[in-house]
Amino acid sequence: MNKNKKDVKIEIKKGSMDEWPEPIVRVQSLAESNLSSLPERYIKPAFQRPTTAEDAPAATNIPIIDLEGLFSENGSCDDVIMARISEACREWGFFQVLNHGVRPELMDAARESWREFFHLPVNAKETYSNSPRTYEGYGSRLGVEKGAILDWSDYYYLHLLPPPLKDFNKWPSFPPTIREVIDEYGDEVVKLCGRIMRVLSSNLGLEEDKFQDAFGGENIGACLRVNYYPKCPRPELALGLSSHSDPGGMTILLPDDQVYGLQVLKDDTWITVKPHPHAFIVNIGDQIQILSNSVYKSVEHRVIVNSEKERVSLAFFYNPKSDIPIQPLQELVSTHNPPLYPPMTFDQYRLFIRTQGPRGKSHVESHISPR
């Protein structure tokens, strides 16, 4: 796998992170212009295009785990639930959670507030336009490669943690309650992430705070990417988001449970996730794969689009403190099981996707240490 290192080397030209390499075209504008064909910039190579029929049987889905009773009042954990989470992290890298502690009304309010925002005229959103340096704000592409084939989506990216990066002035002011809703939503999802982190540690025989401490304790990073996938005239030629594994620690996805879109790669087969109402989708990221020395798996996934319905989803990223070197935990390595990854800070690591865009699992695999 080390042979890919040259392919994923990051070369950043001076000034390349301050502006996009080409004028930005909003996908929403294209979708609203009643196109009969798909612009060439969005047509994926044949090997990347979604299949017209599902590869996996329609009934196949990622694990669904009910968290009710996970933590008892005396602090002990339910062994059956923990075992199911362990299996999902090792075998799938994805699972849905029910009874997770976040109010359904808050989940609905968060998603529908953002739907209202994206339904604003494009010009009304341009004041929040982003740059590739931080990605914060209203955007329509990942990566700064000139001439790259683009994804059929717009998005909004914002920071919630650490507190110095949280700037309400960079958050939308419409609809009027959106800042209040997202602030509360972020607080609740951070709590959920903390609970799951304790389970991930305990399931490896570690002290329950081990993963959290490796991330920086309470000094973690958290950000939100809200995805807007407009109707697409030729969905069989495009992707809403290209195949990738998430570079951060853990992603909590609030899907659009009325419109399927997320696909997860399992045993070389793309599986379309069927969201359960008011469930979150938990996704193990590259940083947890690295910490666990690849016991837990970050998994390739992508998003398909359709010609009939738009789709809105919220991806909440729970990340390590940006300047802490992340490497396999000492308790999980030995002479017979050496560390697979060298130390690297999250700041260094995430430069790849910010410059190159989503490219499967090539980044995490390129960092496997030579044996």
Stretch 77-87: mean pLDDT: 92
Q: How far apart are CA 294 and CA 211, in angstroms?
A: 14
pLDDT over 70, % of the chain: 87
Helices (H), 61-177: 79-91, 104-118, 122-125
CATH of the domain at 144: 2.60.120.330
Domain count, the chain: 1
- pTM surpassing 0.95? no
Question: Could you tell me if residue 3 is inside a domain?
Answer: no
Q: How far apart are CA 151 and CA 357, in angstroms?
A: 10
320 prior amide bond cis, ω within 30: no
pLDDT over 90, % of the chain: 78
Query: What's the pLDDT tens digit per position in 316-349?
Result: 999 999 999 999 999 999 999 999 999 999 998 8
pLDDT value of residue 2: 40
- Reduced to 3 states, what is the DSSP secondary structure of residue 2? helix
Q: Which DSSP string do the residues of 18-58 spell out, in sequence order?
A: TS-SS----HHHHHTTT-SS--GGG---GGGSPPSS-SS-T
Q: Are 215 and 197 in contact (CB under 8 A)?
A: yes
Q: Is the pLDDT of residue 229 over 70?
A: yes
pLDDT value of residue 351: 77
pLDDT band (50, 70, 90) for residue 356: low
Query: Is 231 exposed, middle or buried, given 0-12, 13-18 or 19+ CB atoms closer than 10 A?
Result: middle
Question: Could you tell me if residue 157 is inside a domain?
Answer: yes
Domain around 153: 27-32+39-367
pLDDT value of residue 360: 63
Closest C-alpha to 138, from 113, 119, 154, 156: 156
Question: Could you tell me if residue 13 is inside a domain?
Answer: no
Stretch 125-150: mean pLDDT: 92
Question: Could you tell me if residue 327 is inside a domain?
Answer: yes
Stretch 118-122: mean pLDDT: 93
Q: Is the pLDDT of residue 74 over 50?
A: yes
Stretch 192-211: mean pLDDT: 97
313: which strand partners? 227
pLDDT value of residue 71: 67
Q: Which DSSP string do the residues of 191-229 spell out, in sequence order?
A: HHHHHHHHHHHHTTTS-TTHHHHHTTTT--EEEEEEEEE
Question: Could you tell me if residue 351 is inside a domain?
Answer: yes
Q: Is the pLDDT of residue 72 over 90?
A: no
Q: How far apart are CA 38 and CA 365, in angstroms?
A: 33
266: which strand partners? 269
